[in-house]
Amino acid sequence: MTQDFTLLLPITYALIELMGVIAALEAILKSRTTQGAMAWFLSLVFMPVIVLPLYLVLGRRKFQGYRKARRMGNKGIHIIPPDARQGLIPFKTTEQLLSQDDKVLEGITAMPFSRGNKLELLINGDEFFPMLFEKIDQAKEYIALSYYIVRADSTGQQLKDRLIKKAAMGVHVYFLYDEIGSLKLEQSFIQTLNQVEGIDFVPFHSTKGRANQFQLNFRNHRKITIIDGHCALLGGLNIGDEYRGMDQALSPWRDTGICIEGPAAASIQLAFLEDWHWATENIPTLNWQPSNNIHSDINSLVLPTGPADSLDSCTLIYLHLINTAKQQLWIVSPYFVPDPTVISALTLAALRGVDVRILLPKNPDHLLVQWSSQAYLKELLTVGVKFYYYREGFLHQKVSLIDDLYTTIGSPNLDNRSFHLNFEINLLSKDAGFAKKVKTMLEADMACSQQLHLDDVNKWSLPHRLLTRLSNLLAPIL
């Protein structure tokens, strides 16, 4: 028995080493950067026992299963009736109102700018959840929801009760939740909804498919509600009590959402439908005849991004917005761990004389992320980028303002995870009136913030600076 074990050990190690070499070659072919490819290659070849499991879980950059589902013959997403996209054509923003920069964004996302949209800014859970419940109560045909986190607390129970009530009235409910983000969701909550006729409550299944069984690094981070194809809600708020300021450790909770009525809601619905098709391999019957809002004519562009895109779409969008800013660039995010390319773009914007401001939470929910973000501060402060730390509770909103004209509100954080590993969605508006409302909101947030100065960073101790650099080594997966 001892002799058999002695023979088995080197054979097992040889197999692991072989798998490490194969994985290392894959890393060379598929890693996003040369540095990343070299780091994976050396680690997999020389430390396969330790690194191979990490590579299986964290190493993949593109969600191949989802990408293949987009091309699956008669089962592919392209079998949606042609009027799904054709219906948006009559509401497309006229060429005269679009700059070349606008058309670049359309090209990145394959989505059109649309006119005739009404946008309502929703500040904090006090405004978001009453609007969410009101729109659900008004639904006549169907409700489509997709949330990263769903909790079975009082907020989740209120939503569940409303959805059950609407299902009893003949309104179909399509509810998608991320299986990792909602890992703590009680089975009783899931079973209750799944037992109701007219409610489909399904996980996004980032681990669906043989090739994805160990790949736990992708997330569906979108927060979407769609009502009858005419109205949609987006933002940073998930379904849980903390998003209503009911978490003692992180209260008051600072977040932002948006309610969209008009053709842009149909574009949001397209993004939801791709996710639903991946999770269920079914295509529900939805309304693809958008209606414009006669009381408002805001030009808007839906920006869905994710690891199934052929391009690094989220990175490209933010780089484009940063590079096109002429006077002003304000960005709000709970996390700030971006690519070196984004750091370079922010540096160039500040050197061009753009008023670059980054608003972050002073009290983080993840210390490691905050330490990692501090590695960039001295470099950016030196060229004139201004940093503000929000002091009134936890800041979770994902908002940007460019040149008092463009705004984005949605789910992406300013970090590598949102840029490369998460399915995200933003709404970009091109409207000075709406931008003014967003600016007023952000000015109030900055009034509740503490500005960080270069002298403050220079006073950090050597151990603190070392901690920030060590934390930043994990930036690609934070």
Domain identity same for 145 and 220:
yes
Helices (runs of H) and strands (runs of E) counted in the chain: 18, 20
Residue with more model confidence, 159 or 9: 159
Distance CA 236, CA 396 (A): 7
Worst-scoring range by mean pLDDT, 118-122, 141-145, 156-160, 368-372?
368-372
Domain identity same for 440 and 317:
yes
247, 396 contact by CB (below 8 A): no
What is the pLDDT at residue 220?
Answer: 94
Q: What is the per-residue pLDDT across 266-322, written as a single tens digit (0 to 9) for each?
A: 999 999 998 998 889 888 889 988 877 778 889 999 999 998 888 889 999 999 999
Say how far residue 19 (Cα) sits from the centre of its chain: 33
Residue 433 sits at the vertex; the CA angle it makes with 430 and 438, to the nearest 5 degrees, is 85
Query: 334: domain range?
Result: 313-477
Q: How confident is the model at residue 73 (pLDDT cuts 50, 70, 90)?
A: very low
Q: Residue 308 falls within a domain, yes or no?
A: no
**AA identity, residue 92:** K
What is the pLDDT at residue 478?
Answer: 52
Domain identity same for 321 and 409:
yes
- Whether 216 has a pLDDT exceeding 80, the answer reads no
Residue at which a domain ends, from 301, 332, 356: 301
Q: Residue 306 falls within a domain, yes or no?
A: no
CATH of the domain at 428: 3.30.870.10
What is the pLDDT at residue 54?
Answer: 65
Q: Residue 179 falls within a domain, yes or no?
A: yes
Q: How confident is the model at residue 213 (pLDDT cuts 50, 70, 90)?
A: low
Domain identity same for 98 and 26:
no
What is the pLDDT at residue 291?
Answer: 79
Beta strands 399-402 and 172-177: pairing type?
A: unpaired
Percent of the chain with pLDDT over 70: 80
First to last CA, the chain: 45
- Whether 190 has a pLDDT exceeding 70, the answer reads yes
Q: Residue 460 falls within a domain, yes or no?
A: yes
Give the chain's domain count.
3
Q: Residue 394 falls within a domain, yes or no?
A: yes
Q: E strands along 98-192, which residues?
A: 114-123, 142-147, 172-177
What is the pLDDT at residue 4?
Answer: 57
Mean pLDDT of 77-84: 56
Domain identity same for 251 and 388:
no
Domain identity same for 26 and 120:
no
Catalytic annotation, residues: 221, 223, 228, 396, 398, 403
Domain identity same for 34 and 159:
no
Q: Residue 30 falls within a domain, yes or no?
A: yes
What's the whole-number average pLDDT of the chain?
86
Residue at which a domain ends, from 271, 301, 331: 301
- Nearest alpha-carbon partner for 278 in 111, 68, 17: 68
Q: What is the per-residue pLDDT across 382-392, written as a single tens digit (0 to 9) for each?
A: 999 999 999 99
Q: Residue 271 falls within a domain, yes or no?
A: yes
- Whether 79 has a pLDDT exceeding 80, the answer reads no
Q: What is the per-residue pLDDT across 3-52, written as a single tens digit (0 to 9) for each?
A: 555 666 677 767 767 776 776 676 666 665 565 566 666 777 777 766 66
What is the pLDDT at residue 465?
Answer: 73
- Nearest alpha-carbon partner for 101 in 324, 318, 342: 324
Partner residues linked to 355 by β-bridges: 328
Domain identity same for 80 and 159:
yes
Domain identity same for 266 and 364:
no
Mean pLDDT of 458-472: 72
Distance CA 371, CA 117 (A): 40
Q: Taking the CB of residue 291, how many other CB atoms lie within 10 A of it?
A: 18
Close Cβ partners of 257 (under 8 Å, ≥ 6 residues apart) = 122, 127, 128, 131, 223, 233, 234, 235, 236, 237, 409
What is the pLDDT at residue 85?
Answer: 66
Say how far residue 155 (Cα) sits from the centre of its chain: 22
Q: Taking the CB of residue 432, how many other CB atoms lie within 10 A of it?
A: 12
Domain identity same for 325 and 466:
yes
- Length reported for the chain: 478
Domain identity same for 350 and 236:
no
Residue at which a domain ends, from 301, 333, 357: 301
Residue with more model confidence, 78 or 374: 374
Domain identity same for 322 and 279:
no
Residue with more model confidence, 417 or 342: 342
Q: How confident is the model at residue 205 (pLDDT cuts 50, 70, 90)?
A: confident
Q: Residue 307 falls within a domain, yes or no?
A: no
Residue with more model confidence, 293 or 419: 419
Worst-scoring range by mean pLDDT, 66-75, 238-247, 260-269, 289-298?
66-75
